[in-house]
Every structure is written in structure tokens, then in C-alpha cells.
Structure 1
Amino acid sequence: MASTSVRHHTMFIGGEDVDSGSAYEIRHPATDELVCTMAKGTVADADRAVASAREAFESGVWSGKSPAERQEIMQRIAARIGTDQDEFIAAEISCNGATVRQAAGFHVGMAGVHFDYFAQLAGSYEFERTIETDPVPTASTNTIRREPVGVCAAIVPWNFPLILGTWKIGPALAAGNSVVVKVDEKTPLSLLKLAHVAHEEGVPAGVFNLVSGDGPEVGARLASHPDVDKVAFTGSTAVGREIMRLASGTVKKVTLELGGKGPSIILDDADLDFAVDGVIFGCMLFSGQMCESGTRLLVPAELHDDIVARLVARVADLNVGDPNELATDLGPVISRRQRDRILAYIDGARAEGATIACGGGIPEGEEFQRGHWIAPTIITDITNDMPIAREEVFGPVLSVLSYSSLDEAVAIANDTEYGLSAGVWSRDTDRAAEVGRRLRAGTTWVNTWHAVDPRLPFGGYKQSGLGREIGLGALDEYTEAKHLHVDHTTDLGLATFALVLSTPRHG
């Protein structure tokens, strides 16, 4: 049961706080200190949440509201993310160790902007349109309706719970669906607060439910549940495959945003100072714990040593430390397990003959003996067949590879099972954009990284995912297309079925 010395949090189902018989301990990644406890949900809790969501959907308390009504309520929620920003930031930092600057700018700042975008989509989305058709063989009116799918399950990862949760909750609510959010057990607090805020601002009970629980049990139940109509998942490719398998039993709609191994290509004409800073930002932000991080750097062979020297010198300027301090650039990684996994990848690369140009272990200093820390690491003498270059490390680790021609650079960049992100650095943006067109990735940046806009789609090629989140078509993933055909023929002899049925013998 939960300790009485720290705050205990519960799930939110049907507009009510719901506890369970056991609890997770939430520990701060920087210090390993106990922050709070969280109810550990079960399959029964998932079933209760789905039943609540289904009842709310069928009742029409939300799905029956006009788009304008949903927009108004959602805009109030978006505004609360801004006014309650400090609470949301504290929730993110205490659970996942994000720095305060990053949490303000990305984790929470972007979440409010993106939720407001989905609110606006609720009012502007074309839920119904009439299609002009030929009057032959019969005159008719044909309407395309976009209707909510029903109950949507959102399975959210630990790294960006609020923003990635918003990408699923926002369009689901905008389209008129009910949602069941399954939070990661390490980072439940920001989405739990969002659930309460949504209820306070007018989202009816049962429309927004939040459960916790182990992924192989609660997450799997939501993915396979016969009363869940859509599942949206962000996480590893391995788990994404299992989500697809489980969802196939009821042929439900699926959106998957999975792993990545983003290639970052510096061209021979690049401004090296600018590119080096951009590459470090692309790889090291949030200690590399981002699926679309640029973790493979491809450099011209003749510039390799110069670029590596610049990278090492620049990384030495990074301030690694307390995520609550404004001066901090890099904080900890999420857990001891993740830290040890990253160290194993680094040790494996070293054993295969790679060179650790900087970092490669736990930073020096007494303050780093608690919590889960990895020094920003740059590794050279790598080939693209090594695990360090092919597998998602999810840490502050940059792998540097050389290329001798642009064709070789593109071939190396595309030689991966992933296709989430890529980037090109060059003074000639036209040339860089042409290289970008050859890269097999859902997002390709030129002279920047992590540039995500709610109006533009985000998702991956190959085993980096299925479908797209955000963007102009975000609500398409949360609606079903219905063709409504109204025939205006009144003369039985002119009706299309007269082609098969003979004229009646008796009037």
C-alpha cells in the first residue's frame, strides 16, 4: 500500500478518483529520492475505464455536442495549461528529470499551443461536405461525413507524457470521441493533472479517463479490448509490433509512433560552427531521450577530424547538473535501468574497436553518485553495421561516421530499419533540400532539428511507425468516413433497380 509520508495519486475514471490495492513509487531521476506514489492499475481498472468511456460516448454528452461547443471547452483547457504552467512543469521535472528550460519550452510550453491547435481544428474541421456527382444514372445528393470512431485508447511514454499525450487526447476530443489514457508508471503526474483540468473545464465524466498499470497487462488489454475502437501508441518498435498484433483481433484503427535512429548529414560547404551546435542540440536535448534525436552524424571524410574536435570542445561547454537550475543544459536519464542500458551500448562499441572521443560513462563529481547520469558522449571509428549505429540507444550518445561521396552519405543514412527523422546541414539550402528529398524519413530538417509544428504531420517511415500525428489531417485518424447517398429519383421506371426488376404486371 502507499506510504503515508509522501503524496499518493490515484487514477481518474468516470470523473472520479480511483485507487487500487498496490502502488508505484515515483522517484526523481536526478537524486533517486521518492517523489510520490501512484495507484497501480489492473486489467479490471482498464475494463472499468473503457466501460465508462463507452457509456459516455453512446450517451452523446460529448459526441453529441457541436464542434463549436467542443472547441470552446478545449480552448479553456489549453488556457489552463498556460496559467497552471508551473504545476505542469514541476510534474514533468520531478518524474522524468527534464531541465526547467526544456520543460518550459518543450514539455509544457508546446503542449498548451498544440492543445489549442486541436481546439481550433474542432471548429474548422470539415465534418461534412457534399460531393457533386453526375445526374446519370440518377440524380442524387452525396455527402461525406467524418464521424468519431468511438472509444480511443492513448498509450503514452515516459519521455514527453504531456505533449505526446496531447497529440492523442486533443484530436480524439476534438472529433467527439471518448478517451482512455494509459500513463507510463514512471511519469503519470502531468497527464493526471490534465485529466482533472479537463473535467474542471467542462469535459463530462467518462469522456477523459486515465489509468496506470504495467504495459504487458493494462496496455495489452486496451490494445485488444473489443470495445476500444482506436489505439494510439508512442514507444519502442518492439512494443509497437505487439500493439498491432493485439489490435488486429478486432481490426481497430491504429496509430504508432515508434523508434528512430536519425541521420544528420553535414555537407562539405556547411558552416561548421553553426552545424556543430545544431548537431549537439539535435542529439543531446533531454539527454538524447527523444525518438527523433539525431544520433548518427555523417561527415565528409576530409572534415572528420576537424568536426570531431569541434564537437568535443563544444560538448565540454555543456552544463550537466540539477534540472531545476536555469543554467543546466543536460539532466539525468530516466532510470538506473536506462543508464545501465546506455553504458552497455557504449562498452559494446568500445569492445568493437570504436573510439570514445569524450564522455562514455558517469560524470565525475559527488552529485552524480545519486540518480541516473550519463556524460554526453561522442563515439568515432564506427561503421554502420555496429549496434551503436543501428539500434536506438536513447541516451546522450552521438555516433560519428565518415562518407566519401554524397551518394554514400545518402546510402548510409537510409541503411536502417527506422525512418522517423533526418537532417542536412549546408550553406546551400537548395542543395541540402535536394539531399533531404532522398532521405527516407517522415521529417527531414535542413539547418535545424526538433522543429515540430502542430500544423505539420509527424510520424515515420518503415519501422518508425504507422500513420501521422498532428498536422492538418490529425482528426482523420480519429474519425470514420461515411458516404451518405440520397437518391432523388421518384419514377419507378427510371430507378436503377429497373435494370434488374421487370415492370410490375399488376398496378
Structure 2
Amino acid sequence: MSDVPHYNMFIDGQWVEGSSVWGVKEPSTGETCATVAYGGVSYTDRAIEAATRAHTEGVWRKKTPAERADVLDRIHQILSAKVEDLAHLVASENGATVRCATAFHVGVALGSLKYFADQTRVYEFRKANEPTQLPLPAQGYIHRDPVGVVGAILPFNFPLVLGIWKIGPALAAGNTIVVKPDENTPQTLLEFAKAAEEAGLPPGVFNVVLGDGEAVGGRLAEHPGIRKIAFTGSTEVGKIVMRGAASNVKKVTLELGGKGPSIILDDANLDLAVRGSLFAFLMYNGQVCESGTRTFVPRALYDDVVQLMVEATKTLKIGDPHDPDTDFGPIIDQEAVDRIQQMVAHAVEQGATVAYRGALDLDEKFRGGTWVAPVILSNVTNEMDIARNEAFGPVGVVIPYDTVEEAIEMANDSEYGLAAGVWGGDEERAIDVASQLEAGTVWVNDWHMFPLTGPFGGFKQSGLGRELGAHAFDEYTEEKYIHVAANQDLQQRAYGLLFGHS
């Protein structure tokens, strides 16, 4: 493993060795593509202590918003010069195709960082209220102060994007932060640490700790020194994080699982709707929390849509994620492969039909990797396990409906509510259907698009709070009200209620 890059953890402005070394596997081949220092609770505590000290000293929070924005801009500039290298890191450790990595994993991440830098200059950290006369003349001021030390726990699938969606507003608001990447995909966050160091971010303000999720993530969730936890991952683990955070009542943002419904209306452009619905559940090999994995189709169009989906999926090229011509890559690890295959098998046992299962005709180099070809299941009902639980892989189910009201009812019949989509020719009608769907994001004739001005988050068990949008910084600040009496006249005070006899 001497010919692969090695990364240490980044704590208090220093690159720190761990108690052991973790090998990062390339999903497409099964080979080690990097090694990283691996820590645990003691390293997490060390990072929290550094972040706490930096916050207390005020080396970052006392800078003006413009000064903080300038540092974020410098980080953005440094990373923007490395787009191609970052995309190939993603293709290696994530298994995303290099096209997907460039556009989404890296492109969206850097666009988001620039957006947060720009927002730092215009966000109202201080705002004067209108003077009031009741109960007595006074002037009020609303301050939005940094919460303190933020803990960020990230999943494997979009580490840089989802990392920046937390790091950006946290740093912009003047907080310090400890980041825990997924052990399978840490490299882009460590590259961010290099850029932060080069850009002049003060020691202790930004820290990266690597290690087991239960140990490092659990410690971040429960540690009393962490005043805000931001987590993206499964609903099951999100509940554990929430319980840990409850022990000392810290602020929490949770972006959790999904089982997105994609409703094709009877007046939809079928070319657009079919390819869009496939993109909805196959982008990044199906490993996206807001994927559209349930496609609802009018019964009269059902057979035609299934066939069109099958024919379009057959054209996808599966193979080397580093090849720009590749459309579809591997799954993150063998545990995920086993889970996906078991869920498909169980769906068939419950009565589903495999309308299509892609073939894996791979070069010998990739036969040690972890692969699942795209699967389309027909004859699925909304009550089947495959329609209710998140496979987190390239599995889409197609469900018929008789009325739009029935489609909406089935779409909302889920404990998840992260994202949904509607495909239709009549835009007003499609928007009306979208307005009835219980999801934090609803696309009309599109999917996986994230304008940075739009808030992102889930209904129901898909999470708490929102990322992106004009109010993203609200999640990383505490609102303080400062009341200033209009004068110093003792007679114009409520003190008389207490000292009425004098």
C-alpha cells in the first residue's frame, strides 16, 4: 500500500496520526486507493477541545462577516483549481462516474461554497427592530450569534457536497467545527482541510476526525461541548444521533432517508418523463437519499412506460467510473450489494416481476469490485417492502394507478418525505399535484436539481431542519434579542409594580 496516498487527521491546525490505519477501498476494483489515520473517542475529544478553545478565544467569530467570506472565497479558489483531481478522487473512493463526480459531487459542492461565501456578506447577523412604545418606549435589536462548536457527521455518498452544506454556513456564521467523514470516502474532506489550511483558516476552527461511526459520531452527538450537530445518513442512525443530542439539548439538523415518489401524469411528455424517472433512481448508481424510487404510472400507460424504461436502461454503459463514456458505476461495498440483492429477491417473493435486470459484463480488472446492475420491478404494490423501505441502490419500482387522487394518496403513504416529483404537460395541473405531496422538495418535470436558493430537507422521518436557501445560516446561529430602554427616566419604568410604596 506504499504506492497509494496517505492522509492524517486534521486537528487544531495539525496533521495528526491515529491509533491505526484504515484502507480506503476502490469499489470498482476492491483495491486500496488510499490509507488514512484512524482515531476514536480520544481524538474526537482532542478536536472538540481545540474547537472550543478557538471559539472561546474568538479568533474566528470576532472577524467581520466580510473577512470570513474572504477566507471561504480563498478555499473555493484553491479547490476550483483541482476540479479534475477531485473528480477522480470521487470516482476512486465513491465509485461515481467521472461525469457524475465532476457535475454533482464536485461541481455542486464548489458552487455551494461560493454561494455561502456570498451569503455571508448579505446575511443579517444584526438587525434593528422598529422602535416600540409598548409596554414602554424602547429600541430592540436582533443578533444572530454563532452557536459555538458544531459537529458534522457525513455519509459516504456525497461527502464534499453534504460536507460543504454544513461547513459553509457553520464557518460563515462564526462557529468552529469538527467533521466526521464516512470512513469509506474521506479524501475530499481531507483535501478541503488542506485548502482551509492554505487559505489561512485559524487553527482549531476546522477539524477532521476519522474513525468508526459509532465511536466518533456517537461522541460528537453526545458531547456537551458540541452545541449543534448536523447529520446526513439513514433514518435509523439519525434517531441514534438525536437521542445522543437530547442528553444535553443541542441544536440538531437531520437529513435522513427517503423513498421518493415520481408521478407520471397522463399528459406527460413520455420521453422526458421516462428518462427523467430513470435518472431519478439511477443517478450515482442509485445511492442518493432523495432518489425517486417509486414511479407511479396511469394504468392505461403502464405497459408502455415499463417497456420504454427497460429499453432506455439497456443503453447504459456499465464499467470503469474513470472512463468519461461510462454511465453507471459500482456500489459502495459488499454489505450494500448483499442488502440490495436480498431486497430484490424478497420483492419477487412478494409478487413483483423483474422487468429488467442489467448484465454485468465487466473487464477482469473490475471483477473484484462491488457491483449491482440496474433493476426495474413491475407488478409492485405500494404495500410491498420494496416500495416502503430504502434500498439505496439502483432499484426502481413501477406502480400503476387509476386516478390522480389515488397516486397522491399512495405517494404520501410513507414514513419518508424527503423528495418527490411530478411529470406533466399542463404545468398548473402538475404544480397542483406537487402542492399535495408530503415532501421537502418536489420537482416538476425534473429531478436531482438543487438551486442553492431553495431550502432542502425532509418531512416526517426524512429529517429535521433545512440546508441551503436564504435561511441556511439560521440553523447555525442562536437568535438573541437586545432590548434598549428609550431613556433613563425612572418614572418610565415598570419598577413601580415592585416599589409602589416608595
Q: TM-score band, normalised by the shorter chain? A: over 0.9
Aligned to 2:348: 350
Which of residues 284, 287, 302 is equivalent to 1:286?
A: 284
Aligned to 2:190: 192
Question: Partner of 2:207: helix, strand, or coil?
Answer: strand
Aligned to 1:363: 360
Aligned to 1:428: 426
1:198-247 deviations in Å (ceiling 9; x for gaps):
11101101000000111111100000000000000000000000111000
How far is the alpha carbon of 1:493 from its aligned partner?
A: 2.4
**Whole-angstrom CA distance in 2 between matches of 1:48 and 1:181:** 13
- Which residue type is aligned with residue 112 of structure 2? H
1:62-77 matched pairs, under 5 angstroms: 62-77=60-75
Tell me if the contact between 2:147 and 2:227 (Cα under 8 Å) persists in the aligned partners.
yes
Which of residues 99, 110, 124 is equivalent to 1:101?
A: 99
Tell me if the contact between 2:88 and 2:322 (Cα under 8 Å) persists in the aligned partners.
no
Aligned to 2:177: 179
- Which residue type is aligned with residue 143 of structure 1? Y
- Which residue type is aligned with residue 16 of structure 1? Q
Question: Partner of 1:250: helix, strand, or coil?
Answer: coil
Change (3 A) 1:307 1:136: closer
Aligned to 1:410: 408
**Whole-angstrom CA distance in 2 between matches of 1:267 and 1:124:** 41
How far is the alpha carbon of 1:487 from its aligned partner?
A: 1.2
How far is the alpha carbon of 1:491 from its aligned partner?
A: 2.4
- Which residue type is aligned with residue 213 of structure 1? G
Structure 1's unaligned 5+ residue stretches are none
- Which residue type is aligned with residue 426 of structure 1? G
Tell me if the contact between 2:319 and 2:362 (Cα under 8 Å) persists in the aligned partners.
no
1:401-442 deviations in Å (ceiling 9; x for gaps):
000111110011001000000001111111110000010000
Change (3 A) 1:478 1:122: same
1:76-87 matched pairs, under 5 angstroms: 76-87=74-85
Tell me if the contact between 2:52 and 2:225 (Cα under 8 Å) persists in the aligned partners.
yes
Aligned to 1:495: 493
Question: Partner of 1:364: helix, strand, or coil?
Answer: coil
Aligned to 2:220: 222
Aligned to 2:336: 338
**Whole-angstrom CA distance in 2 between matches of 1:218 and 1:386:** 36
How far is the alpha carbon of 1:122 from its aligned partner?
A: 1.1
Question: Partner of 2:484: helix, strand, or coil?
Answer: strand
- Which residue type is aligned with residue 232 of structure 1? A
Identity of aligned residues (%): 50
**Whole-angstrom CA distance in 2 between matches of 1:429 and 1:205:** 51
Tell me if the contact between 2:263 and 2:422 (Cα under 8 Å) persists in the aligned partners.
yes
1:117-132 matched pairs, under 5 angstroms: 117-132=115-130
Structure 1's consecutive aligned runs of 4 or more residues displaced over 3 angstroms after TM superposition are: 3-6, 364-368
How far is the alpha carbon of 1:503 from its aligned partner?
A: 5.1
How far is the alpha carbon of 1:499 from its aligned partner?
A: 2.4
Tell me if the contact between 1:81 and 1:108 (Cα under 8 Å) persists in the aligned partners.
no
- Which residue type is aligned with residue 335 of structure 2? R
Tell me if the contact between 1:71 and 1:122 (Cα under 8 Å) persists in the aligned partners.
yes
- Which residue type is aligned with residue 360 of structure 2? P
How far is the alpha carbon of 1:375 from its aligned partner?
A: 1.0
1:388-403 matched pairs, under 5 angstroms: 388-403=386-401
Aligned to 1:457: 455
How far is the alpha carbon of 1:5 from its aligned partner?
A: 4.7
Tell me if the contact between 1:456 and 1:470 (Cα under 8 Å) persists in the aligned partners.
yes
Question: Partner of 1:26: helix, strand, or coil?
Answer: strand
Question: Partner of 1:205: helix, strand, or coil?
Answer: coil
Paired residues, number = 501
**Whole-angstrom CA distance in 2 between matches of 1:366 and 1:89:** 22
TM-score normalised per structure 2 = 0.98
Structure 2's unaligned 5+ residue stretches are none
Which of residues 30, 35, 38 is equivalent to 1:32?
A: 30
How far is the alpha carbon of 1:25 from its aligned partner?
A: 1.1
- Which residue type is aligned with residue 317 of structure 1? T
1:125-155 deviations in Å (ceiling 9; x for gaps):
0011111143234221110000000000010
Question: Partner of 1:29: helix, strand, or coil?
Answer: coil
Question: Partner of 1:455: helix, strand, or coil?
Answer: coil
Tell me if the contact between 1:492 and 1:498 (Cα under 8 Å) persists in the aligned partners.
no
How far is the alpha carbon of 1:365 from its aligned partner?
A: 3.9
1:141-156 matched pairs, under 5 angstroms: 141-156=139-154
**Whole-angstrom CA distance in 1 between matches of 2:117 and 2:95:** 29
**Whole-angstrom CA distance in 2 between matches of 1:74 and 1:121:** 11
How far is the alpha carbon of 1:497 from its aligned partner?
A: 1.0
- Which residue type is aligned with residue 149 of structure 1? V
Question: Partner of 1:176: helix, strand, or coil?
Answer: coil
**Whole-angstrom CA distance in 2 between matches of 1:96 and 1:488:** 59
Question: Partner of 1:254: helix, strand, or coil?
Answer: strand
**Whole-angstrom CA distance in 2 between matches of 1:119 and 1:11:** 25
1:313-349 deviations in Å (ceiling 9; x for gaps):
0000111111011111111111111111111111111
**Whole-angstrom CA distance in 2 between matches of 1:244 and 1:427:** 42
How far is the alpha carbon of 1:364 from its aligned partner?
A: 3.4
**Whole-angstrom CA distance in 1 between matches of 2:363 and 2:58:** 57
Tell me if the contact between 1:138 and 1:489 (Cα under 8 Å) persists in the aligned partners.
no
Tell me if the contact between 2:377 and 2:398 (Cα under 8 Å) persists in the aligned partners.
yes
Which of residues 283, 287, 301 is equivalent to 2:299?
A: 301
Aligned to 1:466: 464
Change (3 A) 1:266 1:242: same
How far is the alpha carbon of 1:23 from its aligned partner?
A: 1.6
How far is the alpha carbon of 1:176 from its aligned partner?
A: 0.2
